[in-house]
């Protein structure tokens, strides 16, 4: 059975894993990423981690998941807020030269979606849309086992989809961008404004929902509608066989998923109403998905 190297490279830590084609993690190495010390230090440390993988030469390729949009053809980051100095840095070429293995790079949400599409909740489905609803909102379109990254590497940056132009302006995103209205951070902000300034987690808001707090119920109901509107916009473009939704907010899915799906059915054409909504099934989609990049490009 073929094996691959998956790398989850973030602003705080880097994790490297040996993964087989079934998505099983066989070995893992973890280290601080040293992101603030620049690309040279980050890459030296990363390569040291890869060298610790047993029987490295038997692996068939390397895949990296990184935070931010990626030029997947060049294997370079387009934006690198959490990894200073990595804009247009030749990550893939550097690792290929060192290890003589085909190397691919993509956005961390894209690789998580790829993992779910190939070996997770969407296994076997031709068109899957993966959404992460966490601190922010991100997404990935996977068609026939391949991530659609787009010309500029921004495909799946769904957090900027407008769901209501009459909301407030908060940051660099559009007014009424779904990330500013339905993400974990958005729920915290809204709960602070409408219920209690001391609320510091979405979990606290969902606890109030369980207690039938009327304002908390209203906040989560609005979030469910906003999320459904985003999904309807996505669906009218790519008509997926299934949406797969992961991220920390989904820990409370029992308190809003059914509402969200009901709103979604009212927002799409009749023939689109029966799309499946699955919860992400993998415990390590970032690592597994990174390792699946060579599999995907080999298709």
CATH of the domain at 138: 3.30.420.40
Helix (H, G, I), strand (E, B), or coil: what is residue 68? coil
Residues 97 and 152 in one domain: no
Kindly state whether residue 139 falls inside one of the protein's structural domains.
yes
Verify that 164 and 68 share a domain, yes or no: no
State the burial class of residue 85 (Cβ atoms within 10 Å of its Cβ: 0-12, 13-18, 19+). Answer: middle
Confirm whether 118 is domain-assigned: no
Instruction: Identify whether residues 138 and 46 lie together within a single domain.
Output: no
DSSP state of 143: E
Contacts of 145 (CB under 8 A, 6+ apart): 114, 117, 118, 295, 296, 299
Strand runs (DSSP E) across 21-126, as ranges?
25-32, 62-66, 70-71, 76-77, 103-107
Is residue 110 within 8 A of residue 66, CB to CB? The reply is no
86 has a pLDDT exceeding 90: yes
Task: Say if residue 134 is in the same domain as residue 268.
Answer: yes
CA 193 → CA 51, 64, 197, 284, 292, distances in Å?
A: 50, 39, 6, 34, 42
Residue 160 lies in a domain: yes
In a domain, 119, yes or no: no
> Is 298's pLDDT higher than 80?
no
In a domain, 216, yes or no: yes
Which domain, by its residues, includes 44? 3-113+284-297
User: Residues 187, 230: one domain?
Assistant: yes
What's the domain count of the chain? Answer: 2
Model confidence pLDDT, tens digit, residues 209-249: 999 999 999 999 999 999 999 999 999 999 999 999 999 99
In a domain, residue 57? The reply is: yes
For residue 97, give the 3-state DSSP assignment.
helix
- Residue 58 resides in a domain: yes
My answer on whether 134 and 260 are in the same domain is: yes
88/146 same-domain check = no
Q: What is the pLDDT of residues 50-79, one digit of tens each?
A: 999 999 999 999 999 998 889 999 999 998
Indicate the pTM of the whole model: 0.91
167 falls within a domain: yes
């Amino acid at each position: 059975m073929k094996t691959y190297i998956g790398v989850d490279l973030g602003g705080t830590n880097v994790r490297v894993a040996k993964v087989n084609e079934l998505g099983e993690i066989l070995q893992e190495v973890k280290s601080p990423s040293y992101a603030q010390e620049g690309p040279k230090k980050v890459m030296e440390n990363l390569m040291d981690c890869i060298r610790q993988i047993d029987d490295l030469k038997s692996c068939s390729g390397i895949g990296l998941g990184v935070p931010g949009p990626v030029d997947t053809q060049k294997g370079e980051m387009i934006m690198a807020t959490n990894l200073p100095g990595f804009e247009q840095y030749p990550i893939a070429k550097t690792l290929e030269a060192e290890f003589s293995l085909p190397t691919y790079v993509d956005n961390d949400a894209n690789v998580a979606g790829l993992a779910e599409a190939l070996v997770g909740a969407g296994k076997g489905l031709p068109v899957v849309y993966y959404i992460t609803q966490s601190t922010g909102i991100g997404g990935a379109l996977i068609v026939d086992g391949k991530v659609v990254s787009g010309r500029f590497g921004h495909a799946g940056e769904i957090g900027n989809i407008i769901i209501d132009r009459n909301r407030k302006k908060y940051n660099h995103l559009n007014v009424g961008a779904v990330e500013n209205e339905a993400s974990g951070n958005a729920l915290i902000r809204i709960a602070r404004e409408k219920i209690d300034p001391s609320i510091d987690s979405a979990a606290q808001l969902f606890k109030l929902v369980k207690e039938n707090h009327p304002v908390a119920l209203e906040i989560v109901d609005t979030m469910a509608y906003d999320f459904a509107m985003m999904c309807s916009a996505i669906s009218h473009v790519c008509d997926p066989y299934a949406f797969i939704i992961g991220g920390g907010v989904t820990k409370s899915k029992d308190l809003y998923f059914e509402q969200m799906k009901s709103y979604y059915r009212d927002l799409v054409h009749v023939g689109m109403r029966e799309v499946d909504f699955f919860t992400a099934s993998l415990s390590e989609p970032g690592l597994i998905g990174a390792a699946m990049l060579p599999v995907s490009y080999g298709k």
